[in-house]
Chains A and B, each alone.
Chain A
Amino acid sequence: NAGVTQTPKFRVLKTGQSMTLLCAQDMNHEYMYWYRQDPGMGLRLIHYSVGEGTTAKGEVPDGYNVSRLKKQNFLLGLESAAPSQTSVYFCASSYFDSYEQYFGPGTRLTVT
Chain B
Amino acid sequence: GESVGLHLPTLSVQEGDNSIINCAYSNSASDYFIWYKQESGKGPQFIIDIRSNMDKRQGQRVTVLLNKTVKHLSLQIAATQPGDSAVYFCAEAWNSGNTPLVFGKGTRLSVIA
Contacts and interface: CB of A to CB of B under 8 A. Distances in A.
B93 A42 contact: no
A45 B92 CA distance: 13
Contacts of A50: 98
A33 interface: yes
Nearest to A43: B103
B105 A90 contact: no
Contact of A42 (B41, B42, B45, B106): B106
Contact of B100 (A4, A33, A41, A42): A33
Contact of B44 (A40, A43, A44): A43
Nearest to B4: A42
Given A50-B98, A90-B44, A105-B42, A42 B103 contact: yes
Given A33-B100, A42-B89, A42-B105, A99 B43 contact: no
B46 A90 contact: no
Contacts of A40: 9, 105
Residue among A41, A99, A104 having the largest count of chain B Cβ atoms under 10 Å: A99
A92 B44 CA distance: 9
A109 B103 CA distance: 21
Nearest to B93: A99
Contacts of B104: 42
Interface in A92-112: 92, 96, 99-106
Contacts of A100: 34, 46, 49
Nearest to A6: B43
A101 B46 CA distance: 7
Contacts of B106: 42
Contacts of B46: 100-102
Nearest to B89: A42
A5 to B, nearest CB: 11
B98 to A, nearest CB: 7
Interface of B: 1, 9, 32, 34, 41-46, 49, 89, 93, 98, 100-106
